[in-house]
A and B are shown apart, each in its own frame.
Chain A
């Protein structure tokens, strides 16, 4: 990384420079005022930068050097599954036959795209144990909302308008309750027990005739498998509710256990996690949703179907929740996920899960002597440590995270889940080697020692990054959300 301050692209702009080469103007030109009413012709130019092509390339190359990605180094960000993003995926997604197809072309001219989507749906059905899949949701949260809207439509179709409540564990991601609200539900929280699992007695207490669904991540956000899942499914189903699986964490279960077999009625997957769609600095993602039979009528339109050897979109679904997105989902991300599944095959995906879980348990056991491990049991693909031992020495989890930056590591997810004090949520993924894990362990051990011996080194970290800790309070109190040219 470079230390130099980076100007904004607007600050290197110089009047008269250009960075484009538009197609020739080869038709006879008319006066623009004769084509557009005068009051709708822009009088003030948009303040876009004026820069040459090399200016742009240097600018963004400079910015890229101030950014950490999986290709730059270890990225054990819990719950985000920052595994390697295969390069063949990028090549396939850029094939002109995939990248430059218009969504409204006649179906007969896009059979290649439809075949890929259909085969991906078939694969996801098999991996999750569900009966049908839609590829439309653009991201995990969008998938959650789609799934919950289908559950609501299902209950309403049965006349169950009183089912207005969605139950989520206290360890759930913030998106779960947010998605429930956006789908028109109220959220109820179910407590965790002393083992970090859903408290079955509390679940029995909160379910009832107003229960629409229980939303669950399994393994949960502590990285623990909810081993009472069948009992939980029975409790919820007996009360007439549906079971929703937040499949952001599929990396831990492929080929080992399937949501459909555990009793889940709806599952969403984050193809940009388990299935190697790159995160892109925040997106785009893809959040397909799988459902059991009784929810199929409510799938968003259009539904991709196979008729003989042809593929087609079916819009004739009277009970559908409607359209949730223009066109058919983030196709480009789905291409990447499909390429990955085809690269790995059934044996590969199984090994992915085994290696991910082995890596996580190895890290957990090696770090446990130095950091507090609140739930001392085998984890799945991730685990949660607590920094409370270090907090007593005046070193917060935030400080530990910042200190890791000095060693070229992206820190774990911190202060989540909310039910663990000073939480550090660590997910190594299967694509990291033992050497990388060992280097991370050595660093974490060193930081634990620093917390005891030279706490200020940790408290004042990071020392080597292009900027030091940033003033977030100022950012929020006096928001500067865009560049303004100095007068």
Chain B
């Protein structure tokens, strides 16, 4: 059998073997001890032609319900947003997607400049001084922020709000266990982090105070208050945020954040069943040399022309080995490129307009539910999510909504028994008034049953 990705002909093989001075390919594997050689044939599915495989995998994909066939009110950390068509056209340029990390700057100026621009955009949005070239996702970016804080302050306690995404909290705990730090959760007060409880938990062993903005329940946390408390104890203030919200919300950098992380998925990156997305990581200047991951810097070439290189590499694993600030090497460069293209398309005006549309549409939906007599739990200022109390099992409601063409919000009962019958509803700019009205109608009709 021959394969379209394998160009070697029988004639090539003969010539190459003779140049090497062996009779068969098998001789090249003679250093593998006889005892451990794999002698069978791998028990995996047989090869398929391109058309047959495409057909099979299309059918497999069609088994999934997706955001193109159903109107989604599901968020909880991953969002259905407007993706400008241009994004996929840019990231499909194979000079970008078939390149490795830009270790040879002379032939990687395109990628390096694109990352430099990404770093700038993240700084602009977050109000921070320095941003890196990307992390795996918002959750691991936050975990790395917590580790950085422990390293920087030489302290071992991480305080994290209970209104931080539950999966992010779990990831932070796993990373903390790795380095033998402890994680303590800050309780809530009506859906936002309790300042009183935070004050009680503060001590001189607290490395970081972590708040999500807007928080997991959609609420806008009063960052300023937390920053003051954290800094009183010389702890670092870490904010995990939704970057789209920063189109309208005061950036964490202006409110005292030392480290800002998050996921750029809302900018041009499909939900893709949870990954690949695009973590980002921004810090104040004093933490510049502690930031994990790759950084692109501007410099000049021998002729004085502007150019870009990977820089401050003394922080990184391939130089520092066991003393590196993190073990990250591969990041999410192509997704950072997608986010850059989406942010460029939105621009100064569009980012604000998009953020405002989220606020308006989510608040409209909230109001419609209230008018129908529903309780909004944790009510207060929100970005694009709110908690709806339904008093019926959410799983059954979700099934009903699915039949009506909707993907329901997140069932909060999965996290906390106290929140059975509560649904985290997300309304982004892509939901139309008609969809919102119908959704409210269907939830109301089901509830009345």
Contact = CB atoms under 8 A, between A and B. Distances in A.
A481 B315 CA distance: 15
A325 B137 contact: yes
A362 B19 contact: yes
Interface string A30-61: 10100111011111011111110100110111
Nearest to A345: B47
B182 interface: no
Interface string B399-440: 100100001001000000000000000000110111010000
A446 to B, nearest CB: 19
Nearest to A353: B29
Given A102-B271, A361-B28, A475 B16 contact: no
A177 B322 contact: yes
B63 A61 contact: no
A110 to B, nearest CB: 5
A54 B271 CA distance: 26
Contacts of B323: 181
A36 B288 contact: no
B74 A475 contact: no
B431 to A, nearest CB: 8
A229 B33 contact: yes
Interface stretch (A329-337, A384-392, A450-458): A329-337
Contacts of A96: 61, 66-69
B113 A103 contact: no
Contact of A100 (B77, B110, B167, B271): B271
A326 B6 contact: no
B276 A180 contact: no
Given A67-B110, A97-B61, A22 B429 contact: yes
A215 B68 CA distance: 45
Contacts of A410: 100, 104, 107
A69 B53 contact: no
Given A9-B117, A18-B347, A326-B274, A281 B111 contact: yes
Interface stretch (B81-89, B193-201, B441-449): B81-89
Nearest to B437: A27
B381 A127 contact: no
Contacts of A80: 100
B48 interface: yes
Contacts of A145: 178, 327
B28 A358 contact: yes
Contacts of B19: 362, 365-366
Contacts of A64: 90, 93, 95-96, 110
A175 B317 contact: yes
A433 interface: yes
A40 B220 contact: yes
A100 B270 contact: yes
B90 A60 contact: yes
A459 to B, nearest CB: 12
Nearest to B82: A22
Given A75-B100, A481-B130, A138 B140 contact: yes
Contact of A141 (B104, B288, B328): B328
